[in-house]
Amino acid sequence: MARLQAELRRYRELLEPQLIQYLSATDIPETLQKSMIYSIEAGGKRLRGCLCLAACELAGSSVENALPFACALEMIHAYSLIHDDLPCMDNDDFRRGKPTNHKVFGEGNAILAGDGLLSYAFEVTLNAAASHKDEPRYIDAALTIARGAGVFGMVAGQSMDLANERCEDLDADTLIYIHRHKTGALLTASILAGAIIGGASVELLQALNTYGDEYGKLFQITDDILDVTGDFKHMGKTLGKDASAAKLTYVTLYGLERAKEKAEQSAMQAKKALKEYSSAVFFQDLVEYTLRRDS
């Protein structure tokens, strides 16, 4: 995994200073700025930003072109975690190994930090699109992210999750719908946005769409498994919450062993989707890493 780690490091070293630069703008009110920076600086794997940059490179373009979009994706992801952690949602005290945003800044400020990050993300992508008026793919990438984050994507999944809380007879189709939207949609949008900026062919976009769908499933199944088998030190959040909240997960639905088999199946399908692309090494390595991840 040294090859993957080096690539992730290269992408993060581009992404993180740019993210902080966006958030360091001088005219943001102090508490709002501090709370947004708190959640962004708390860390995280920066997976969505890295996927966006890697897809742009795979499509044959320089990562710099996708950098605003990668930053926007990390802002949207951070907002979703801040809001998901609120008492009215998942009610979590820890995230990324630190007290959650509302524990430090209060609920009102945490809601605003999320709102601020989400709105700023679209300001950043639309600014990038406005600077490339003659290249419509920049606006396509912004739209792809909007769709993945919003009422046809992540917010739809979160809404269905909320609607089905403590529902005794949830079925596998609903579980798949929830996770394909709540977790998978933003991951897939991250990959597609980067590929669109990079000028990917229709064939590559289709292959990456299939990869994203399977990778999203793999990511969620391993998240459910780690809720049972993981530890706080690596995951940085309170574990065992799914069981105590009687949540339907891949583990509660299928049991640990079959959930692991399902993760293996999605891993295989994700890798197969890109088998024609010999330069998609990052994406193939990421599947192996995710299958064995502990954080």
98 φ/ψ angles, rounded to the nearest 5 degrees = -125, 160
Residue sitting closest to ligand GRG (CB): 44
Give 41 or 135: the residue with its C-beta nearer to ligand GRG: 41
Decide: 162 and 154 in contact? Cβ < 8 Å: no
Helix (H, G, I), strand (E, B) or coil at 98: strand
β-bridge partners, 95: 98
Q: String of b and e for 12-51 (b: at least 16 CB within 10 Å)?
A: bebbbebbeebbeeeeeeeebbebbbbbbebebebbbbbb
Identified binder of ligand GRG from the candidate list 12, 102, 180, 182, rule CB under 6 A: 182
Distances (CA, A) of 79 to 86, 182, 217, 259: 11, 13, 21, 29
Nearest to 83 by CA among 35, 24, 50, 30: 35
β-bridge partners, 94: 99
293 binds ligand GRG (CB under 6 A): no
230 binds ligand GRG (CB under 6 A): no
x/- binding map, residues 242-281, to ligand GRG, per CB under 6 A? ----------------------------------------
**Which part of the chain contacts ligand GRG (CB under 6 A), choosing from 104-112, 136-144, 153-161, 246-254?**
153-161
145 binds ligand GRG (CB under 6 A): no
Helix (H, G, I), strand (E, B) or coil at 13: helix
Which residues inside 32-91 make contact with ligand GRG, applying CB under 6 A? 44-45, 47, 77, 80-81, 83-84
160 binds ligand GRG (CB under 6 A): no
Q: How far is the CB of 295 from ligand GRG (least distance, A)?
A: 7
181 binds ligand GRG (CB under 6 A): no
Give 7 or 223: the residue with its C-beta nearer to ligand GRG: 223
Give 61 or 100: the residue with its C-beta nearer to ligand GRG: 100
Which residues inside 184-223 make contact with ligand GRG, applying CB under 6 A? 220, 223
What does the alpha-carbon distance between residue 138 and residue 144 come to, in Å, rounded to a whole number?
A: 10
Strand residues in the chain grouped as ranges (E)? 94-95, 98-99
Q: How far is the CB of 82 from ligand GRG (least distance, A)?
A: 8
| Residues within the interface to ligand GRG (CB under 6 A) | 44-45, 47, 77, 80-81, 83-84, 96, 154-155, 158, 182-183, 220, 223
